[in-house]
Each structure stands twice: as C-alpha cells, then as structure tokens.
Structure 1
Amino acid sequence: MSNIPDSTTIDEIDRRILAILAKDPRIPYSDISHELAEEGFELSSEAVRQRVTSLLDVTTSFFLLRPDAHEWEIVLVTVRTEGGTGAKADVFEAMSEMSFWFVGSGFGTVDIYAHATVSSTAEVDRLVNDVRELEAASEVDYFVETGRSTAVEQYLRVE
C-alpha cells in the first residue's frame, strides 16, 4: 500500500500533516514524521515529503494576517441576487474583478460572499456601494472583522 494519496483523497494522515504545517509552515519533514509517529502513524521523512508535495497539488496555501496587528481591516460582504438565470454568475464575475481577495458562490441564505482587505471605513463604504450598484445584487450586507478565533483542527477535522 502506497503512502502517497491519490490526487483527490485527503485521509487522516494528510489532515494531521496539514494541521502540523498550519501551526509551523517551516517545520522539517523529519519533525513531522516524529509528530506523526507519536500519534501512531509511521511515515519516513521521504513519505511525508511526498504527501506534502501531493497536498500542494490539491490545496491552496493561505496566510491570513491578523488585522489588529496592522493598519487595515478585513471586510466580509454578502450578497443576495435576483434577476433570473445568470444573475448570480454575473454578480460573482463582477465581484471577482473588484478588490476582493476571495469570492465564493453557493447556496443558503446568501448567494455570494467575499472578503477584502481595506485601509479605512471610507474604503469599506466604496467597496460595498460598488457591489450595491450591481444590477442583480438585491441585498448587500457587510461585516468588518474586529476579533478572530481560529481552529484549523476543526476545518481539517483532526481529532
């Protein structure tokens, strides 16, 4: 049995590797191997390297700095759309061209949500108003982050 996951499967070992890397992205493969061994997973440093290489093909690395340590804010904008077929796609495409660094589309109580980094409340107003001006954007709400708790283990489902 190979220690290398296929390109679409993330198993328990992969989740644990990702959790370790989330805490210390510069940790040597040998140290990851030792941490995994303490949890009952025996992998060589080379096997860890191969798994990390495979994981890099199916993940997006992202480092989210805490805005309270800088002179900028993170704003979340949510949008409900109306206008029939293509309305959601039109708003999604338009927002993807704005200064958001993440735009997501799905289903639920909102159709689209997006994150941006802004340097002032005036910039929040400008960005939110730009979204509100989109023809198919029927409801636009926003949230400026003032605090954060992050639990990558919950995201990765590491027990």
Structure 2
Amino acid sequence: MTNRSDDDVLEIDEIDRRILEILANDPRSPYADISDELAEYDIELSSEGVRRRVTTLLENMTSFFLPRPERNSWEIVLITVSTATGPNSKRDTFEAMSEMDFWFVAEGFGTIDLYGIATAKSNPEINDLLVRLQALDSVTEVEHFIETDRAVNIRNYLPVYE
C-alpha cells in the first residue's frame, strides 16, 4: 500500500467539483463560459480564477478520454486478470499487458491482480486479446466485461473537503 502524507491529498472543494462537472460535459468550455455557469450556482469566480483552478486540477489528475459506447461502432472492454503466485508473475503479466492492445493497465491489490481497458472493433478482436492473455504462463484466470452503456456522476467522483 502506498504511504501518503496529508500533504499529498488533493483537496477538492465545491467550486472544483462544479468546474469538473462542467468540463465533463464539455471539455472545451472556455474559462469565461465556466465562470458564467458557476455564477448560476452563486459562485463568483473570474475567468482567470477558473483558469488557475483548472490548471491546478489538471496538474494533479490524469486524463481519461472514454468514448461513449452508444455513439461508436467499437467496443470498450475491461479485462481482469489473476496471476500465479510466482515471484515475478504479476510483474511479468503487467509488462506483457502493457505491450498488448490495452490503452490502460493497472496493478494493485484485492480480489484481482491486474486490469486493463482496451478498445476493439469487434467481439472477435476482444476474443483474440483474451486468448493471448490466457496463453501467458503467469495468468491463472481472465474475466472480461464489455461496456454497453455508462452513467457518469462527477459529483460522486472525488470527496469534497470543506
């Protein structure tokens, strides 16, 4: 488990959350438009103030560009992997997955060892990826989930510190 001090915690307040909500709906919103939308919630912030907050938020986050499944002809698949208990099994599998068609691979701890997200043109393409994963000596189990719809509630994404 990563040890983090209180200084490492990204503190999001209600203004930041509103800005993230606006950007989630339209990532290209001009700062002046964001300022106007914030005013609808009785938040007075200049476009320069919005720019500073957006800059700080982006410095502390990674971008996730997830295409909406209902608007595209490709599939988004989440694949989870359990690995053997060998000394390098998890690391070897992580490195192998990083070289495959995944655009996101994560290692952690819990009921699975690794997960990856891939975009595929078809279910047979997903099947090919699954077969390649199952062929790895260090892999003991592979599960997958094909996304067909999504609801995003940015208000539940990060805790608000007041």
TM-score (norm 2): 0.83
For structure 1, which segment, 107-116 or 10-19, has the greater mean C-alpha deviation from structure 2 after superposition?
10-19
Return the offset for 1:14: 2.0
Within-5 A mapping of 1:124-143: 124-143=126-145
AA aligned opposite 2:112: V
The equivalent residue for 2:4 is none
The equivalent residue for 1:30 is 32
Structure 2 counterpart SS, 1:147? coil
The equivalent residue for 2:58 is 56
Return the offset for 1:82: 1.4
Within-5 A mapping of 1:1-159: 9-12=10-13, 13-157=15-159
CA change 1:11–1:144 in 2 (3 A) is: closer
1:45-91 per-residue CA deviation (whole Å, 9 max, x = no partner) reads 11111111222222222321122322211111110111333221111
For the 8 Å contact 2:35–2:45, the answer to whether it is kept is yes
> In 2, Cα distance between the equivalents of 1:59 and 1:112?
21
1:68-116 per-residue CA deviation (whole Å, 9 max, x = no partner) reads 3222111111101113332211111110110001111112211111111
> In 2, Cα distance between the equivalents of 1:109 and 1:52?
35
For these two proteins, the number of residue pairs brought into alignment is 153
For the 8 Å contact 1:8–1:58, the answer to whether it is kept is no
For the 8 Å contact 1:32–1:48, the answer to whether it is kept is yes
Return the offset for 1:8: 5.7
**What percent of counterpart residues are identical?**
55
For the 8 Å contact 1:33–1:43, the answer to whether it is kept is yes
Return the offset for 1:7: 8.5
Structure 1 counterpart SS, 2:157? helix
For structure 1, which segment, 121-130 or 81-90, has the greater mean C-alpha deviation from structure 2 after superposition?
81-90
For the 8 Å contact 2:97–2:105, the answer to whether it is kept is yes
Report the aligned-residue RMSD: 2.1
TM-score (norm 1): 0.84
For the 8 Å contact 2:82–2:114, the answer to whether it is kept is yes
AA aligned opposite 1:55: L
